[in-house]
Amino acid sequence: MSTADSANNNKDDIPDVCANCGKGEESTSDLKKCAACLSVKYCCRDCQIAHRPQHKKECKRRAAELHEEALFKEVEPEDCPVCIVRLPLLETGSTYMSCCGKVICSGCAYAPVYDDKGNRIRERTCPFCRTPAPASDEETVNRLKKRADGGDAESICMMGCYYGNGHYGFPQDYSKTLELWRRAAELGHAEACSKIGSAYYHGKGVERD
């Protein structure tokens, strides 16, 4: 059964009544699901608090199941947004554009870019959003910080790498690196999860475990 099917079944199985007081059949639109497990509904905050002692164990169990389903669901590889061809698996086969937050294949990254009249644009320009490439390391960092502040997982992961390697003027700080990688991982960034695992495996910035 797929995650979507499981979610639909869970939705159908939830009674349209408050799990604490049993009310709500006549006004189901006012019922709110438990945000953690999504398996019960409540008519108000007071009922949710009152029901917590008997719901706590089951809530944690179901929330863990939902987390596992989301963590291990099959993710379809992305396509390059410019040529619509599947992105290469090798890291060197694609490039992250800090201007628009798109990951494009290296072929599109290095291919000539033309304007709407067919004239070749001489300066390095993003083939997706047509923004000129950063003129300095400072501009590169500022673009990454701006996207990271907006919750872009790729930018957050890259900034973690810069702290780890001391690139672009960042002070080498493994604690900051892991903090950023964890933040990116929470946003679903697979590479950040891999880097955290590698850090613990090699004992880099943390106790080896």
Domain definitions of the chain by residue range: 3-72, 75-133, 136-209
Residue found by looking up tokens 């500022």 in the block: 142
Report CA-CA distances (Å) from 190 to 42, 82, 114, 153, 166: 35, 23, 34, 10, 23
Share of the chain above pLDDT 90, in %: 39
Token code pair at residue 133: 């490439």
Q: Compute the mean pLDDT over every residue in the chain, rounded to the nearest whole number.
A: 85
Label residue 169 by pLDDT band (50, 70, 90): confident
Residue 65 CB neighbours (<10 A): 14
Above 70 in pLDDT, residue 26? no
CA 50 to chain CA centroid, nearest Å:
34
For residue range 32-65, list pLDDT tens digits in order: 889 989 889 998 889 999 999 999 999 999 998 8
Above 90 in pLDDT, residue 206? no
Above 70 in pLDDT, residue 76? no
Residue 31, Cβ density class (10 Å: 0-12 exposed, 13-18 middle, ≥19 buried): buried
CA–CA separation, 207 vs 173, rounded Å?
15
Which CATH number does 136-209 carry?
1.25.40.10
pLDDT at 29 (0 to 100): 65
Q: Do 75-133 and 136-209 share a fold? A: no
pLDDT at 6 (0 to 100): 45
CA–CA separation, 140 vs 97, rounded Å?
10
Contact 40, 69 (CB under 8 A): no
pTM of the predicted model as reported, rounded to 2 decimal places: 0.59
Hey, what CATH class is 75-133 in? alpha beta
Secondary structure element (H or E) that encloses residue 33, with its range: strand 32-33
For residue range 180-192, list pLDDT tens digits in order: 999 999 998 988 9
| Alpha helices by DSSP H, the chain | 3-13, 45-72, 106-110, 137-149, 153-165, 174-186, 190-202
Label residue 121 by pLDDT band (50, 70, 90): confident
Sequence-separated (6 or more) residues with CB below 8 Å from residue 17: 23, 24, 25, 31, 41
